[in-house]
Chains A and B, each alone.
Chain A
Amino acid sequence: MKQIIYTRMMQWKKQWLGIVCWSIIPLLIPICIVLGTSNVQDDAKIPIGIVMEENTSTANDFLDEVKSAPFIRVQQLDKTAALQQLEKHELDSVFIILDGYEEEIMRGNRNQLIEGYHSDLSFAYTPVKEMVVSIVQQDAGRYRAVKVIQDIGERYRVQEQWPVEDMIRKSQTIQKDENLLRSSFTYLGEADSMESGELVSWNVWGLWSIAALLATFFLFDWIIKERTSGVGPRFAFFRMSHRAYLIGNMFIYTIFLGWMNLLTMVVYHYVLHEALSIHLFIVLFTFQLTCIMTAFLLATCFKNAYAYFGLAFAITFMIAVISGAILPIDGITGGLPWLEKWNPVQSVMNGEIHYASFILLAIGIAIWYAGKERLHANS
């Protein structure tokens, strides 16, 4: 073992840049993705068109309120232009404030005051419509209340006149100040509610596990390189078998990558506020071991490093797609529970220790080790 460590250190001395790079990259990629998308998402807005058929103060208030919504970008234009742009899918949807808006609102009537246009490519129509309708509803509701109060005033013969503006303002301040009804969201078994207003929320450990899989594949190219570069045949004359040498080196890499897992946990704890726990470390480390064994077995089958890298990419990409770390996959796994059970990335995302492929791979390594040594002195 001592000799293996010694030779490995000699190798690393020359390749330190690659080693450092590929052990840091899985740590950095998720941070870049998480911070990058949250930046883009802050700026990403849904473009909608608003057509004003009347120019009254109520209608303008409505426009201002729509404009103040954080997730949309409002363009004010005339009807033909708006519909044309919608047809070309340059706008997500178009809302028209119909003539007579103010009059109807003041009467407390809110039916059919606006017209909404959307196309079959309008992905965001439903939430935008929901918001627009809620604003109309709110305005109309206030005038409805005004009417009720005026009725009361009449019935009980109140002497002083209650000005309408006061009533509206009162309702607005109550709504704003008291924030009457809130909803909170938690998952079963979780203590505090996690409130994220973002459309896309990443599973950091899912992203990490995909990057770690790729990086582990890439780190294990030494198996191919050290066999092809004229070292291979010499093993026949060593005290140690080639396999024992490979296993010993795998062990060194495992310890090294285990430390990297620990470092990743600490960095994510401070940068992305992920929780720290021993259980998590075990989850990550078993995943790392799964990656190492996969990379190890795969690399021993290859002679051409470039082809190995290509296949590593293909495998990683496929696992990334079917794991749900990048794409939402609940619709598929519902019908295929085995997919979830056998996918190690999925286990990391769920914070579970992954046994299935781990045991299978360990058996694979054992069979490989017990198999016949192919490198003979005369080969």
Chain B
Amino acid sequence: MHFIKHTRLFIANNFKQIRRKWLTLPFLFVYPIVMTALIAIILMTFFTPSKQDPIQVGIVDQDQSQETKMIMKILIDSGQFGELFQMDQMTASDAEQGLVDDQLSATITFPKNFTSNLYNGVSVELPVVGNPNEPINSRLVKEMVNSAARHIGASQANILTINYYAKQTNMDAETRNDMLFEQFKDFLFYTLSKDEAAIEHELSNAVTASPLHYYVASGWFVITTIWMLLLYNMLYKENTYRMKERMKLYGVNALQQISARIFVTFVCVTILSLLLLFGLQRFLGVPFYLEDCARLGLLVCLYNLSLLVILAIIEVLITSQRFRLLVQFIVAAFLILASGAIVPVLYFPIALQQWLSYIFSYEALHWIQEILLHERLYADYIPLSLMLGVFISILAAASLWKELTQK
């Protein structure tokens, strides 16, 4: 009874505290939204390279053989790499100047004796020089050359095999060389049309499971998490030693204050995050049922409470303010990462994936996504509830232990 009375007192006090800080509150709630949107924009611009300006690549031909001339022509004229790369042949000094002036993203050089070395089975190196100011474009060029080199290497092995057997016949050298050049051309075009090997299909997921929906749900999840971290810590107030002593005489303990803060943060953030969620749902045009609303609400409540209790446990265990904040931040970041909000969990190492179902943020986001994106009509609340129960017990035990050991 005492516990509830005191807690109520602190809850009222916390609400007053929030009202007094009305100026910082908008900042507190807008900051995570702005940051999440910023991160989303950065990632989007990274993953969708601008189609208007292709990557400028300079090619230098130091070999000047029949074969390299043909490669040049194909690289420059054909639409093989048309959309992404724009290739131009130039001299070595122009190419270097182009890199310095930021005109080029990378240069590829066909070294002297490129062709004859290839025919004779001597290993050849294709140097790619990247522009350090454009690391991502440079890497793309490098990947392209790598892939091309792999194909050419395989073709060349075949040509050398043909050469090996042709040498055993009474074919004269000139005919053999001509034949090899023919084969070179054949294999080159063969390589260029490699994409015909596969018939490609794009399978559309359920309409509501597009990347946009996926990342809107993730973004909402991240925002909710950060809100709780911020509001919970904003309500924190370091009591002086004398104040603590006085409160102890009234039978007040830390757990009551913590419960009050958990309650206040929980109420504020849950209301706001559900509003945000339903707003986003409207915006995306996802069908919407009353039962879903109840399911989502319950999941959000369970997740929010679990996270707050975890933050409280950290607060009880770590007395240094700075260190506590760092640990809370790291734990929140870990929970966000493990939930699959940033990188979908299927790309995680299999060893980690087995442990994910023990992490409440993964469970929560998983079911929220199932309901929101895959239109599931069911969610399993038991694991989340169990974990919440365990966290509450740990919090109670830790706080009690702290109270007893303190002088």
Taking Cβ atoms with an 8 Å cutoff, the residues of A that contact B are 18, 21-22, 25, 40, 43-47, 73, 83, 86-92, 95, 110-121, 123-124, 129-130, 132-134, 136-138, 140-142, 144-145, 148-149, 152-153, 156, 158, 162, 167, 170-172, 174-175, 178-190, 214, 218, 221, 305-306, 309-310, 313-314, 317-318, 321-322, 327-332
B100 touches A188 (CB 8 A): yes
A331 touches B156 (CB 8 A): no
Contact pick for A181, options B39, B45, B152, B202, CB 8 Å: B152
A144 touches B158 (CB 8 A): yes
A133 touches B194 (CB 8 A): yes
A331 touches B169 (CB 8 A): no
- Docked Cα-Cα span, A73 to B329, in Å, equals 33
A136 touches B197 (CB 8 A): yes
The 3 closest A-B pairs by CB, nearest first: A331-B45, A43-B349, A175-B157
Specify the chain A residue showing the minimal Cβ separation from B34: A318
Contact pick for A178, options B121, B128, B169, B194, CB 8 Å: B121
The verdict on B314 contacting chain A, using a C-beta distance below 8 Å, is: no
User: Distance (Å) between the CB of A12 and the closest chain B CB?
Assistant: 16
Contact pick for A332, options B42, B128, B160, B352, CB 8 Å: B42
Chain B interface extent, by class:
35 or more
Give residues of chain B (22-38) contacting chain A, Cβ–Cβ below 8 Å: 31, 35, 38
Contact pick for B325, options A172, A182, A310, CB 8 Å: A310
Q: Which residues of A contact B209 (CB under 8 A)?
A: 89, 121
Q: Which residues of A contact B49 (CB under 8 A)?
A: 331
- Docked Cα-Cα span, A95 to B136, in Å, equals 29
- Docked Cα-Cα span, A129 to B201, in Å, equals 12
Q: Which residues of A contact B214 (CB under 8 A)?
A: 121
Contact pick for B322, options A18, A328, A332, CB 8 Å: A18
B158 touches A22 (CB 8 A): no
B129 touches A180 (CB 8 A): no
Contact pick for A137, options B96, B122, B197, B374, CB 8 Å: B197
Q: List 7 A-B pairs, Cβ < 8 Å.
A: A92-B347, A112-B196, A117-B203, A118-B202, A141-B158, A158-B169, A187-B129
- Docked Cα-Cα span, A117 to B128, in Å, equals 33
Q: Which residues of A contact B122 (CB under 8 A)?
A: 178
B149 touches A181 (CB 8 A): yes
- Docked Cα-Cα span, A36 to B210, in Å, equals 31
- Docked Cα-Cα span, A180 to B134, in Å, equals 29
A182 touches B125 (CB 8 A): yes
A144 touches B165 (CB 8 A): no
User: Distance (Å) between the CB of B157 and the closest chain A CB?
Assistant: 4
The verdict on B135 contacting chain A, using a C-beta distance below 8 Å, is: yes
A149 touches B349 (CB 8 A): no
Q: Which residues of B contact A119 (CB under 8 A)?
A: 202-205
Contact pick for A156, options B142, B169, B206, B346, CB 8 Å: B169
Of A73, A145, A188, A332, chain B has the most CB atoms within 10 Å of the CB of: A188
Q: Which residues of B contact A321 (CB under 8 A)?
A: 35, 38-39, 42
Give residues of chain B (230-265) contacting chain A, Cβ–Cβ below 8 Å: 230, 233-234, 236-238
- Docked Cα-Cα span, A180 to B131, in Å, equals 26
B203 touches A21 (CB 8 A): no
User: Distance (Å) between the CB of A27 and the closest chain B CB?
Assistant: 15
With A137-B151, A179-B153 known to touch, is A184 a contact of B187 (CB < 8 Å)? Answer: no
Contact pick for B199, options A114, A144, A306, CB 8 Å: A114
A318 touches B35 (CB 8 A): yes
B348 touches A116 (CB 8 A): no
User: Distance (Å) between the CB of A167 and the closest chain B CB?
Assistant: 6
B202 touches A120 (CB 8 A): yes
The verdict on B41 contacting chain A, using a C-beta distance below 8 Å, is: yes
A182 touches B161 (CB 8 A): no
The verdict on B382 contacting chain A, using a C-beta distance below 8 Å, is: no
With A152-B171, A327-B43, A332-B41 known to touch, is A133 a contact of B197 (CB < 8 Å)? Answer: yes
B350 touches A73 (CB 8 A): yes
Q: Which residues of A contact B90 (CB under 8 A)?
A: none
Q: Which residues of B contact A185 (CB under 8 A)?
A: 128-130, 138, 142
- Docked Cα-Cα span, A321 to B320, in Å, equals 26
With A175-B154, A330-B135 known to touch, is A183 a contact of B46 (CB < 8 Å)? Answer: no
